[in-house]
Amino acid sequence: MALNINDDTALGREDDWFPIREVARLTGVNPVTLRAWERRYGLIVPRRTPKGHRLYDDSHVKRIQSILKWLNRGVAVGQVKQLLDARQSPNLTEHSQWGGLQNQMSLAVTELSERQLDDSFNRALSLYPPVTLCKHLLLPLLLSLEQRWTGAFGAELERGLFYSWLRTKLGTRIYHSNRQHNGAPLLLTTLCEQRFEPGLWLSAWLVSSAGCPAEVIEWLVPLAELPLAVERIKPRGLLLYASQSLDSGYLKRQLPRLADTQELPMLLVGPAASIHLAELRNVPGLTLAIDPLAALEALQAGPLLEKPKGFLE
């Protein structure tokens, strides 16, 4: 039976109408962003119950799919409504829009202004889903900062501020997402002795935003101890992040042995997956992904994560 929009008690998923939490699950776009698209840009106009609850149908879900396609091509959110309504070809402003946001955040890092950094990111976060932000903002920003920091005076100071902010920001969002999702988590850990691995935390953020709890062990632990973590945490899968090359012992013995002894899916994510592609591509039970976006795609291509409608199409 269809949902009666005059009945505020019937807010679970029905044949014709969906509450906002269900649309968020189906599309991967969080409720805050859906509300912002409605209020600021008129991108989606849901029906309302007498008490003001938003209700969506299949046409709304399909429209959100179309919005995501444009955003993932780099189109500014303010341009999307005109493109959808007029069925025009876009005037892509990827470099000006995302380049401008990157410059704002880069300047905030230079000035050691955590408040400015946070404000810039929060504005983008209210309008764009995590996948779009990771692809067009955070990964390019990290690359440009690392290039700027090479041999520069004050680089460690800037890196310390930015990494501390990023870990706090992503860790907070992962914490709150984890409290909203049940089921076995994905266990994520690092294979390198870096003080902070941005790619590890971006991977965890994308996973948690996709509806899967994420358990992060950011401290380097011996591979021989990971089976103990698997036994106690009982994760749905294991993601290993490595930003640097691995020694021959990892490649020839430890990683293949770990993959062989674990029944759960395993991923190796990061630059090491590309560096050691020839050695690791044929290790049974091990999936390789070069960055957090590729890791999310690999997880959603298998049984571990549900793929939202319209995701990266």
Q: What is the pLDDT of residue 223?
A: 86
| Residue 163 belongs to some domain of the structure | yes
Q: What is the pLDDT of residue 71?
A: 85
Of 163 and 49, more confident: 163
Of 118 and 89, more confident: 118
Q: What is the DSSP string of the chain?
A: ----TT-TT--S--SS-EEHHHHHHHHS--HHHHHHHHHHH-----EE-TT--EEE-HHHHHHHHHHHHHHHTT--HHHHHHHHHHTPPP---HHHHHHHHHHHHHHHHHTT-HHHHHHHHHHHHTTS-HHHHIIIIIHHHHHHHHHHHTT-TTHHHHHHHHHHHHHHHHHHHHHHHHTT--SPPEEEEESS--S--HHHHHHHHHHHHTT--EEEE-S---GGGHHHHHHHH--SEEEEE-SS---HHIIIIIHHHHHHH--S-EEEESHHHHHTHHHHTT-TTEEEESSHHHHHHHHHHTTSSPPPTTTT-
Of 45 and 187, more confident: 187
Q: How far is CA 208 from the centre of its chain?
A: 7
The CATH code of the domain that includes 36 is: 1.10.1660.10
- The whole-angstrom separation of Cα 252 and Cα 278 is 12
On the question of pLDDT at 121 being above 80, the answer is yes
Q: What total of structural domains would you count in the chain?
A: 3
Mean pLDDT value across residues 135-161: 94
**pLDDT, tens digit (0-9, with 9 covering 90-100), for 271-305:** 999 999 988 888 888 899 999 999 999 999 887 77
Phi, psi angle pair for 196, to nearest 5°: -150, 130
**pLDDT, tens digit (0-9, with 9 covering 90-100), for 209-246:** 998 999 999 999 988 899 999 999 999 999 999 999 88
Residues of the chain with pLDDT > 70, as a percent, come to: 89
**pLDDT, tens digit (0-9, with 9 covering 90-100), for 9-57:** 444 444 588 899 888 888 888 888 999 988 888 888 889 888 888 999 9
Domain co-membership, 153 together with 191: no
Domain co-membership, 101 together with 81: no
Domain co-membership, 214 together with 267: yes
Q: What is the pLDDT of residue 309?
A: 55
Domain co-membership, 163 together with 207: no
Domain co-membership, 198 together with 248: yes
Q: Which of 149, 176, 203 is the last residue of a domain?
A: 176
| Residue 237 belongs to some domain of the structure | yes
Can you give the pTM of this predicted structure?
0.80
Domain co-membership, 253 together with 190: yes
Domain co-membership, 188 together with 268: yes
| Residue 124 belongs to some domain of the structure | yes
**Domain assignment of residue 79, given as a range:** 18-86
Name every residue whose Cβ is closer than 8 Å to that of residue 177 and which is 6 or more positions away in sequence.
208, 209, 213, 214
Place of tokens 């992060």: 216
User: pLDDT-based confidence at 162, cuts 50/70/90?
Assistant: very high
Domain co-membership, 169 together with 228: no
Q: How far is CA 14 from the centre of its chain?
A: 29
